Every structure is written in C-alpha cells, then in structure tokens.
Structure 1
Amino acid sequence: MQDSRPSRRLLLGALAAAVPGLALAQAADPRAVVERFHATLIELMRNATQLGARGRYERLRPAMDAAFDLPAMTRIAVGPAWTGIAPDAQARLVQAFSDWTTANYASQFKGFSGESFTTTGEQALQNGDRMVRTTLNRVNDAPVQLNYLLRSGSAGFRIVDVYLTGTISELASRRSEFGALLRDGGAERLVADLQRRTAALLQG
C-alpha cells in the first residue's frame, strides 16, 4: 500500500495557510514538536565542525526553548527542595539549567556519520501527558531508544523529560546529584556548578 503520509502533510500545510489557527495546532502536536527538534539536531550534526562548540550552542538554543519546557524541567530535576528556594534564586537556577542542558546537547551532537531519527509511536498517558517514542539510528552501531515525555501548557505540548534507552528518566538521574549540591551550598552552589559545567562544554 502506498504511504499517504507525505500527501497528508502537504494537505495540512495548505490548510494551515488557509485556516487561521491550524498552524498553531500543528505546532502543539507532540510528535511534530519532537520531529522538528530532531531535524534541528541532524542539521546541527551536519554542520558541527564548521560551527564549533559555541556555534552549535547558539544554533541549538532557540530550538531547545521551542521544544522543551526548561523551567518545568528545572523544577522536576531539583525536586521537593524547589519550593524552599527564593524566587530570584529559582530564576538563576532555570537560567543555569537551561544553559547547561543546551550546551550538553551541543557537545553530544558534534559530528555526522549518517545518523537519522525515526519516530516509532506516541502514547497518551492517563494524566494527559504524551510519550513520543523514537530511535536514534546509527550506521555502525546499535540504535538508541529515546522516549520524550511531553506536557501541555500555554505554549502547547513541550518536552519535560527524556527517557534514555526508553526507560531511564534523565531528570530522575539528576535529582540525587542536584540534591547533594543543594545540601552542600544551597541554590547558589548548584547554579555555580551548572555554570562551570556549561563553560567546560563550550570550550570543546
């Protein structure tokens, strides 16, 4: 059977131009959010050498802000301690976490060897969140499963967690690490550590 997805996408594109609000609805679609981010990563990888670490960071940052709910991710990564942190310190944590997360992606996706992404499914969860399942296909190695948890907000669906190998929550793995830094020196200790990590990544 012939795949109708390309013609469907063309039809949706034409409708978006003619019907006000449809383009916004497409932007809020969980699968589309992930696939647009993946397209940016592939473009980044293809131009990684020319861009360098700082250039990859600057190219990636708008895509991160569009695809990820970085303030929500900061709250999740900090955990229950978040409510005891002053608002101005919370804002500095969000900034430091956002900078570090972007620099981390820019550091990891620093070359291209024929990689591609495949979206394998989407699941609606009971609380209204969506899980978009994908794989990173590598030419000379096994594929890597990456599942994205998306939550609906004022800007539509955005990513709030990534599950490596399909099951390991990236933010849950950070929580104990961040908790130790908070106990050691409060929010400013964590901010300083994230800033140090970001600076080191951008030197690469």
Structure 2
Amino acid sequence: MDQHPSMPLSSRRLLLGLAAALAAPRVAFAQAGPSQVVERFHAALIELMRNARQLGVRGRFDRLRPEMDAAFDLAAMTRIAVGPPWSRMTPEQQQALVQAFSEWSIATYANRFNGYSGESFTTSGETVLQNGDGMVRTSLNRANDAPVQLNYLMRNTANGGWRIVDVYLTGTISELASRRSEFATILQQGGADRLASELRRQTAELLRG
C-alpha cells in the first residue's frame, strides 16, 4: 500500500535518492580495503595538522574522535595491550578500560600532531598475512628530516570492515607490545582500576597541551 498517496512520484524518488546518497559514505567506508582505511585516516590527520593551532589540543581531540573510531578497533587494541589479565577482569572493568584506553589514544594523537610543516603520507604497499589480517606499509614524509616508516596491522571486523589493530613504528616496533610491557607493571601494582585511573590521568595531562 502507498504510504504517501499525496506525494508526487518525482518527489518520492528525490527523497529516496537523497537517503541513498546520505547512506553511501558509511557503506563505502565499511567496504573499504585496508589501504583505503589508512589513507582516509592519514588525510584526516593532514587536515588536522593544517588547522592544529586554531583548533588547540582539545579541538584536535574532538576532531579526531570520530576519525579514530572509524579507522581503529580501539576495543580490540585495549584487549591486546592488556594481554592475558583481560580475561580475569569483570565486564565493568573491561568497559572502563576500553573507554580510558580509547580516550588516551585519541589524546596522544591530538597532542602529537600539533602543527604542519609540509608533511605528507605515502602508502608503499599492502600484504595479506597467513591469518587473514593485512599489513599496510606507509611512511610519514617530513620536509627537513628523514621519513618515518609506519606499518598498520589491519583486521577485517564483523561489523566495521577493515580496522587498524596495531601500529608498527619504524616498520617493526609494535605500539601495543610496548604498551603491554608498561601496562603489566601497573596491573601488577593495582589491577584494572589502577590502570584505568592512570590512563585517565595521562589523558588529562595530554589535553593540557
């Protein structure tokens, strides 16, 4: 049955077309390949860097939050960084840690990318790993210094498509492996609650600039 008998057919077609156009970017992002996800994130970073001073660190944090939520699987990264102790935590502790880790990660990027001096990113290749994950090889090009190699470990998630689950600095140093070593000491000292509290403290410090 026609739900809008008084609406002209041409108007209904126009509304359907607009709805499809609005939905398209989200569908396209979910279907994007590993390199596309990384390149979209890099484009957002360059735009952020160009406007870094006007935005300030908190403005950069707000701009980065949706971009990092789309490009990174921050919940999976939290579990990887925590390691085996994760399975012994309550759901409430796990949720608190995901939130604290996510905000700390975004604040770290907001603090680090605080200006623009002609930087650019180059994607040099993509490899499919034996377990089905992907590795995207890129470099951060700097005007007055040597480029920095950044490799992204990608995982095809059930609902979000390809997402970043680790970053390898200089191509070989796992960011999450480094964090797991740091987090292990804090977890031994005070458990999940202490780690969440420490991450929140560091986030507040980063957002002070």
TM-score (norm 2): 0.86
Structure 1 residue ranges, 4+ long, deviating more than 6 angstroms after superposition: none
Identity %: 68
Residue 174 of structure 2 aligns with which residue? 169
Shift of 1:66: 0.1
1:102 equivalent among 82, 101, 106: 106
Structure 2 unaligned blocks of 5 or more: 1-19
Q: Is 1:157 aligned to residue 162 of structure 2? A: yes
TM-score by length of 1: 0.88
Are 1:194 and 2:199 counterparts? yes
Query: Is it true that 1:39 corresponds to 2:55 in the alignment?
Result: no
Amino acid at match of 1:49: R
Q: State the Cα distance separating 1:23 from its structure 2 match.
A: 4.9
Question: Alpha-carbon deviations, 1:52-80, whole Å to 9, x = none?
Answer: 00000000000000000000000000001
Q: Which residue is equivalent to 1:13?
A: none
Give 5+ residue unaligned stretches, structure 1: 1-15
AA matched with 1:86: T
Rg (Cα) greater in structure: 2
Q: What residue identity is the alignment partner of 1:85?
A: M
1:25 positional shift: 6.9
Change beyond 3 A, Cα 1:87–1:144: same
C-alpha displacement at 1:176, in angstroms?
1.4
Give the C-alpha shift of residue 24 in structure 1: 3.1
Find the aligned partners of 2:181 and 2:54 in 1 and give their Cα distance: 37
Aligned-partner Cα distance in 2 for 1:176–1:141 = 30
Q: State the partner residue of 1:3.
A: none
How big is the shift at 1:27? 3.9
Structure 1 residues 76 and 22, CA gap change in structure 2 (3 angstroms): closer
2:29–2:37 Cα contact (<8 Å) kept: no
Counterparts in 2 of 1:86 and 1:145: CA distance versus 1, 3 Å: same
Query: What residue in structure 1 maps to residue 132 of structure 2?
Result: 128
Q: Which amino acid aligns with 2:32?
A: A
Structure 1 equivalent of residue 14 of structure 2: none
Matched, 1:114 2:140: no
Does the CA contact (< 8 Å) of 2:61 and 2:107 recur in 1?
yes
**How many Å apart are 1:21 and its aligned residue?**
10
Q: Aligned-pair distance for 1:28?
A: 3.0
Counterpart-to-counterpart distance in 2, 1:29 and 1:59? 23
Distance 2:182 2:77 in 1: 15
Q: AA paired with 2:183?
A: F
Aligned residue type for 2:128: A
The alpha-carbon distance between structure 1 residues 117 and 83, as it changes in their structure 2 partners (threshold 3 A), is same
Change (3 A) 1:93 1:26: closer
Alignment correspondent of 1:9: none
Query: Aligned-pair distance for 1:22?
Result: 11
Aligned residues of 1:26 and 1:32 also touching (Cα < 8 A): no
Change in 2 beyond 3 A, CA 1:65/1:21: closer
Q: Does structure 2 retain, via aligned residues, the 8 Å contact 1:27–1:33?
A: no
Deviation at 1:192, TM superposition (A): 0.5
* Number of the residue aligned with 1:30: 34
